[in-house]
Amino acid sequence: MSDILLEEIPLPAPAGRSHVLRRFVRHRLAVLGVVLIALLGIGAAGAPWLAPHDPDEIAISERYAPPFTAGRVLGADDLGRDVFSRLLYAGRISLAVGVAAMLVTLIVGFAIGAFAAYYGGWIDTLLMRLTDVMLCFPSVFLLLFVAAFVTPGLGSIALMIGLTCWMEIARIVHAQILALKSADFIAAAELAGAPAWRIVLRQILPNTLAPILVAATLNTANAILLESYISFLGYGIQPPQASWGNMLTNAQSDFQVDAWLAFFPGLAITLAVASFNFIGDALRDALDPRLRDA
Amino acid sequence: MTALLEVRDLRVAFGAAAAVDGVSFTVAPGETLGLVGESGCGKSTTALALMRLLHGAVTGGSAHFDGRDLLALDRPAMRGVRGAEIAMIFQDPGTALHPLIRVGEQVTEAIRAHQAVSAAVARARALDLFRQVGIATPELRLRAYPHQLSGGMCQRVMIAAAIACSPRLLLADEPTTALDVTVQAQILELLQTISRATGMAVILITHDLGVVAGMADRVAVMYAGRIVEMAPTAALFAAPAHPYTRGLLGAVPRLDQGWDDELPIIPGSVATAIAASGCRFAPRCPRADRSCRATPPLAPVAEGHLAACWHSG
Amino acid sequence: MLRYLGGRIGQSLLLLLGVSVIGFALMHLAPGGPLAVYTLNPTVTAQDIARVKHEFGLDQPVHVQYVKWAFGLLTGNWGYSFFGGRPVGGIVLERLPATLELMGSSLALALIIGIASGIVAAVRRNTVIDYATTTLAMLALSLPTFWFGLLGIYVFAQTLGWLPAGGMASTGGGGVPDRLRHLLLPMLVLGFVLVAQWSRYTRSAMLEILSQDYIRTAEAKGLRPMRVLLGHGLRAALVPLVTLAGLQLPLLVGGALVTETVFSWPGMGLLFVNALGTRDYPVLMAILMVGALVVVVGNLLADIAVAVIDPRIRLTHV
């Protein structure tokens, strides 16, 4: 047919590395997010050196000191503890919970999604129905439900958050592996005689990586939000250990005395969560060539 | 005879890339003009530019339709032209029809966009149109969704919607490419019948020379954003003047070819990055020489036969 | 269509069964069990605990308890609160209207503003309007709802004194205007997050649809831009958007819980948090089930709506 000779065969342009980078940089907000995360990370990691005061040091005489008084940048709280120092230390906890919970969602989600897709049959049905059931629980409900019965601590909270938020990853992994199992280029690799491990390593993993990376970033943001909320309600990180969430526990009564107390921890949460969200959003754009103009 | 449509020096650019670069042609009332070329040569872009459906593209030149420059009309006036005076049908009727709207409504809304008629009148008109384009059991089909109809049937619906307001010009952009071969012939015949009956002019865009041979009065061959040859259909097939046209004709497989003979092809592909000057076909042309570094004008080689090649004389 | 519906209802029932089993198991397998709070109280003896356990049937094997509870749930006997002994069904259901009022008004707000801003952002893509809308939406999704609510209370209730800081109505009643004044702040706080989500989803759905061939066909017919955008574009976007409405329900229910606690809104979320403090199992389980029911029924309704909008789905699933 003349069609074959006259129509060009469309070849998808490969997303080159420089191309990915350029689109990433174009998302200035994401760059801003990376900078903010870096700053928050440095603040958290370097808290012991950067904090001007011991975060748990109580100074009754300086209760509710406003910012820039008594030598305290962000003032002091209801027990006279230095707010700036507590924010830095709280950042250690909140960011650690976020990252650890994200890792749990990755491990659980990948295991369940891959297991279901690989074995298929009733195992697939059972695991993916379980995923559906879990999606029906509003995660805040489930989290509070469990948190009320578990001794709170950094590890247990990260684990709980992770265990209530793995479903999206599982679905992505499941769908990707199913799609890739039947994809032409996998068949081509098989025909070319590539061993199975090589197919998984060279073909399946890179293709699955992009959406998972995006979901993981957004999960980190979500985990930080969830931690702050259960800590705010008193079921998360327990005082005197500070987390951004539990620094807000008394916010409502603090308003009447010192509104700044309720302002900075919330701002820290917002900045951290927004940064991860912006990065995740930009990653999605940068890694998915199909969304180029979307 | 005055031209219905006179396109002069049409230019379309997406950013820095020129997709159509100085195209001029005319269409007489009732005439069918075939616009032929490889995909990416700018033929669809030309049609969309005439309809002003290219968002975000820069256009230049003029396109006088019945005395008005389409490219200079204000938006409401252009909306009055679209669908009413110039209609358009597309390559894939499966995606060109809205999947969630009954096909009857997709025809009646075209009527009611331009004429103040009641829903009942529009419906009756749609029923007539369905009969006219050869849809069996039109009462039933009016209530169907596109996915319930075959590709050929969908294209008939598209044609019905296009001719609903009796336009004087139809832009048919690869109307049969997505269809089965037997259906292709039926659709082309239908277009020809309608065109003859109503005096509607047609610009038939295709990459398939077989399609234009049967239907077009004249043919314009496009290459890389320019028209390289334009002639009455018979003259073009009898004596192609441009090496590219000759290549196209040679590239149609023939029955008298032996099994072992290699199919003739045009080496290379449409230049995507268009060269600064000179003949754009030169890199692929067997006859190219130094003279091709200058852009050849579209010049007459015979009565009504134009070609843009230094070697066509 | 009927078979499709039957299948979906069956699936929903199975989902609810799964939710109830997992919820029940979580609660009873938790260390210490339901009566853990009492063991810390020196005035409560071991005999007391054993007696209470027996009274509430907590000394029976978990699966027996589950069957009894599930049977009760189906027959309308949702058990009795550990505190005060009132029937759980009454306690939970009297809170339901308040929650539905909050969720419904926020969702309505989100639908109107979210969809409108999403369409504008899609049509004016890569312009200042688009960037501003999408950035604002992303920020809204990053705000901790409770903190945002607290800021709202600080500004509008505490500092400006325009709106009440919490509750559903002033003491001693008050008419409709009073109730609306109480509703406004929580509705805006909960709605803000939802608006952001709807805006983002509408934008991306519309972006994809506006590049479709049938939009060009509609334009080529000479239809008015509004007709092309709404009659053809939004009509096609309804399918993903309605699906989203279903998927978004857990977020809506969870967000309502958060908002209620901040604004002392007397709904199920506040009840849940209070019951959590007292480890009132029957109440917690009932709220979990009602929450799951809202999600499941919402998803079911969304699926039915999608099947009504999109004739192709009716065809493939029947």
pLDDT, tens digit, 9 for 90 and up, residues A16-66: 444 555 565 557 788 888 999 999 999 888 888 887 777 777 777 777 777
From chain C, pick out residues whose CB is under 8 angstroms from the CB of B161: 217, 221
pLDDT at B254 over 70: no
Establish if A6 touches chain B: CB-CB under 8 angstroms: yes
What ipTM goes with this model? 0.85
Please report which helix (H) or strand (E) contains residue B265, including its range.
none
pLDDT tier, A3 (very low <50, low <70, confident <90, very high otherwise):
very low
Check if the beta carbon of residue B179 is closer than 8 Å to that of residue B152: yes
CATH 1.10.10.10 fits A38-59+69-291, yes or no: no
Q: Do B95 and C232 touch (CB under 8 A)?
A: no
pLDDT tier, A269 (very low <50, low <70, confident <90, very high otherwise):
very high
pTM score of the predicted model: 0.81
pLDDT tier, B217 (very low <50, low <70, confident <90, very high otherwise):
very high
Please report the pLDDT score of residue B310 as a whole number: 85
pLDDT at C34 over 50: yes
Domains and CATH numbers, chain B: 1-85+168-254 (3.40.50.300), 97-166 (no CATH)
Q: Do C312 and B109 touch (CB under 8 A)?
A: no
Establish if A25 touches chain C: CB-CB under 8 angstroms: no
Q: Do B88 and C310 touch (CB under 8 A)?
A: no
Q: Do A149 and C273 touch (CB under 8 A)?
A: no
Residues 6+ apart with CB under 8 A from A62: A70, A72, A76, A80
Lowest mean pLDDT among B6-20, B119-133, B222-236: B6-20
Lowest mean pLDDT among B67-76, B250-259, B295-304, C136-145: B250-259
Check if the beta carbon of residue C147 is closer than 8 Å to that of residue A269: yes
Please report the pLDDT score of residue B64 as a whole number: 92
| Chains within contact range of chain B (3+ C-beta pairs < 8 Å) | A, C
Please report the pLDDT score of residue C187 as a whole number: 92
Q: Is B64 helix (H, G, I), strand (E, B) or coil?
A: strand
Lowest mean pLDDT among A53-67, A160-174, C17-31, C172-186: A53-67
Q: Do B95 and C214 touch (CB under 8 A)?
A: yes
Q: Do A229 and C151 touch (CB under 8 A)?
A: no
Q: What is the C-alpha separation between B76 and A45, in angstroms, rounded?
A: 62
CA B62 to chain C, closest CA, distance in angstroms equals: 19
Please report the pLDDT score of residue A12 as a whole number: 31
**Strands, E assignment, B82-139:** 86-89
Q: What is the C-alpha separation between B283 and B298, in angstroms, rounded?
A: 19
B117-133 pLDDT per residue, tens: 999 999 999 999 998 88
pLDDT tier, A4 (very low <50, low <70, confident <90, very high otherwise):
very low
The residue among B292, B289, B268, B291 whose CA lies nearest residue B280 is: B292
| Burial class of residue A214 in the structure, from the number of CB atoms within 10 Å of its CB (0-12 exposed, 13-18 middle, 19+ buried) | buried
Once rounded to an integer, what is the mean pLDDT over residues A269-293?
78
Please report the pLDDT score of residue C109 as a whole number: 92
Establish if C12 touches chain A: CB-CB under 8 angstroms: no
Please report the pLDDT score of residue B40 as a whole number: 78
Residues 93-132 of A with CB under 8 A from C: 129-130, 132
Q: Is A270 helix (H, G, I), strand (E, B) or coil?
A: helix
Structure tokens at A275: 């940064």
Q: What is the C-alpha separation between C112 and A262, in angstroms, rounded?
A: 32
Tally: H helices and E strands in chain C: 16, 0
Q: Do B207 and A1 touch (CB under 8 A)?
A: no
pLDDT at C28 over 70: yes
Structure tokens at C130: 């688009």
Q: What is the C-alpha separation between B235 and B238, in angstroms, rounded?
A: 5
Structure tokens at C209: 């649809």
Lowest mean pLDDT among A219-233, C37-51, C58-72, C265-279: C37-51
Establish if A294 touches chain B: CB-CB under 8 angstroms: no
B167-207 pLDDT per residue, tens: 999 999 988 888 888 888 888 999 999 999 999 999 999 98
Q: Is B84 helix (H, G, I), strand (E, B) or coil?
A: coil
pLDDT at A13 over 50: no
The segment with the largest mean pLDDT, out of A256-270, B74-88, C26-40, C124-138, is B74-88
Q: Do C27 and A129 touch (CB under 8 A)?
A: no
Establish if C291 touches chain A: CB-CB under 8 angstroms: yes
Establish if C170 touches chain A: CB-CB under 8 angstroms: no
pLDDT tier, C281 (very low <50, low <70, confident <90, very high otherwise):
confident
Please report the pLDDT score of residue B256 as a whole number: 61
The segment with the largest mean pLDDT, out of A165-179, A195-209, C100-114, C163-177, is C100-114
Residue B269's closest chain A neighbor by CA?
A: A8
Q: Which residue has the higher pLDDT, A26 or A104?
A: A104
Once rounded to an integer, what is the mean pLDDT over residues B65-84?
90
Q: Do A1 and B40 touch (CB under 8 A)?
A: no
CB atoms within 10 A of CB A125: 11
From chain C, pick out residues whose CB is under 8 angstroms from the CB of B114: 222
Once rounded to an integer, what is the mean pLDDT over residues A168-183?
81
Once rounded to an integer, what is the mean pLDDT over residues C76-101?
84
Q: Do A8 and B39 touch (CB under 8 A)?
A: yes
Please report the pLDDT score of residue A119 as a whole number: 80
Please report the pLDDT score of residue C54 as a whole number: 75
CATH assignment of C92-148+187-317, given 3.40.830.10, 3.40.30.10, 1.20.140.10, 1.10.3720.10?
1.10.3720.10
Structure tokens at B178: 């997505």
| Chains within contact range of chain A (3+ C-beta pairs < 8 Å) | B, C
Please report the pLDDT score of residue A293 as a whole number: 39
Q: What is the C-alpha separation between B67 and B64, in angstroms, rounded?
A: 6
Q: Do B100 and C310 touch (CB under 8 A)?
A: yes
CA B80 to chain C, closest CA, distance in angstroms equals: 6
Q: What is the DSSP letter of B145?
A: -
Please report the pLDDT score of residue B270 as a whole number: 59
Establish if B140 touches chain A: CB-CB under 8 angstroms: no
pLDDT at C257 over 80: yes
Lowest mean pLDDT among B2-6, B100-104, C43-47, C184-188: C43-47
Please report the pLDDT score of residue B27 as a whole number: 94
Residue whose pair of structure tokens reads 């012939």 in the numeric block: B185
CA A194 to chain C, closest CA, distance in angstroms equals: 37
Please report which helix (H) or strand (E) contains residue A263, including its range.
helix A259-287
Q: Which residue has the higher pLDDT, B251 or A230?
A: A230
CA C59 to chain A, closest CA, distance in angstroms equals: 19
